[in-house]
Amino acid sequence: MHSNYRISPLGDRAVIIEWEQQIGEEIHRGVMQAFHGLHNLRKPYILDLIPAYASLTVIYDAVLLYRERHGYTGETISDLITATLNNASAITSGPSRLLQIPVCYHPSLAPDIHVMAERKNIPPEHIIELHTAQTYTVYMLGFLPGFPYMGKVPDLLVTPRLKQPRIRVPAGSVGIAGAQTGIYPQESPGGWNIIGRTPLQLFNSAAENPCYCEPGDQVKFMPVSLNDYREMTHTI
């Protein structure tokens, strides 16, 4: 595990474990190892674990922690986290999932693809080729329930957010902001450059696992035609 981390308090019910603040596979691997290591403890006082690009927030119940440690107040949540993270051999996690997500890049569903192509002096087809050529890591969920932040996109696709965000971005819209790519799970205002749309439902509050993507997943975008997209929206 990447051992260069620090633990800081977030109020009286949470701490944050922070690694070097950058987007990268090695750093995020350390985040996910910490996530699985603490999750696998099944401790009642650990209420939630929230992974991000280079950090992991641990929400805990101080009263339950005190009771479990039999009143031994010398051992803090930070001590327990450090002991777990230092015991790398005890941390086990299953293989990451590979999700194949269909995306239609037709201009009617991709309002920014031609603008991006013109600015980069490449045909829209090249943007599609680049976006679908590699596999992305889901680094975190945020902004909206189930919104996956993924990266990194190829250097040629790196594009700043829109100067003027849209009031309405349809659910399923696939966008690029900086070196990240992501998918809007619900209709929402937003400032990402929209280059396509997926028929998949990224968030379902009624499902046992509401979020389609989870941190640590690997995502491969699969291009589909407009007709295929329309058919999928009626069958998925």
Asked if residue 175 and residue 138 are part of one domain, the reply reads: yes
Six-digit token pair at 223? 């291009």
User: Are residues 80 and 115 both part of a single domain?
Assistant: no
**Model pLDDT, residue 112:** 97
Residues 113 and 185 in one domain: yes
Q: What is the pLDDT of residue 115?
A: 95
pLDDT tens-place string over residues 109-120: 999 999 999 999
What tokens appear for 188 in the block?
A: 């929402």
Tens digits of per-residue pLDDT, 25-51? 888 888 998 998 998 888 899 999 999
> Same structural domain for residues 80 and 102?
no
The mean pLDDT value for 166-180 works out to 97
Together in a domain, 163 and 188: yes
pLDDT (mean) for 116-144:
95
- With bands split at pLDDT 50, 70 and 90, how would you rate the model's confidence at 85? confident
Backbone region of residue 105 per phi and psi (left: phi > 0; alpha: psi in -120 to 50; beta: other values)? alpha
Measured between alpha carbons, how far is 181 from 193 in angstroms, rounded to an integer? 9
- Within a domain: 147: yes
Q: Supply the pLDDT for residue 88.
A: 62
Checking 40-43 for CB contacts under 8 A at 24+ apart, the result is 40/91, 40/92, 41/84, 43/68, 43/80
141-150 mean pLDDT:
94
- Which pLDDT band holds residue 64 (cuts at 50, 70, 90)? confident
Going by C-beta distance under 8 Å and a sequence separation of 6 or more, which residues neighbour residue 67?
none
pLDDT exceeds cutoff 70 at 129 = yes
Residues 83 and 107 in one domain: no
Residue % of the chain over a pLDDT of 90: 65
Shared domain for 141 and 217, answered yes or no, is: yes
Question: Looking at the domain assignment, is residue 39 inside a domain?
Answer: yes
Indicate the pTM of the whole model.
Answer: 0.86
pLDDT tier for residue 93 given thresholds of 50, 70 and 90: low
Residue 1 has pLDDT above 70, yes or no: no
**What's 61's DSSP letter?**
-
Tell me if 1 is assigned to some domain. no
pLDDT-derived band at 94, boundaries 50, 70, 90: low
The answer on 137 and 73 residing in a single domain is no
User: What does the alpha-carbon distance between residue 98 and residue 175 come to, in Å, rounded to a whole number?
Assistant: 20
The residue out of 61, 90, 119 marking a domain boundary is 90
Residues 109 and 225 in one domain: yes
Domain count, the chain: 2
The 3-state DSSP class for residue 47 equals: strand
* Residue 77: pLDDT over 90: no
- Tell me: do 190 and 208 sit in the same domain: yes
Q: What is the DSSP letter of 97?
A: P
Q: What domain range includes position 210?
A: 98-235
Sign of the alpha-carbon torsion through 20, 183, 167, 186? negative
What CATH number has the domain bearing residue 223?
Answer: 2.40.100.10
Q: Are residues 121 and 47 in the same domain?
A: no
Mean pLDDT of the region 131-160: 95
> Dihedral through CA 151, CA 153, CA 155, CA 157, nearest 10?
-140
CATH (domain of 37): 3.30.1360.40
Contact 230, 106 (CB under 8 A): no
Same domain, 122 and 27: no
* Alpha carbons 193 and 80: distance in angstroms, whole number: 43
Give the pLDDT of residue 69: 66
User: Residue 96 above 90 pLDDT?
Assistant: no
* Contacts of residue 202, Cβ cutoff 8 Å, sequence gap at least 6: 146, 147, 148, 171, 172, 183, 184, 185, 211, 212, 213
**Does residue 161 sit within a domain?**
yes
Lowest mean pLDDT among 73-87, 124-138, 146-160, 222-236: 73-87
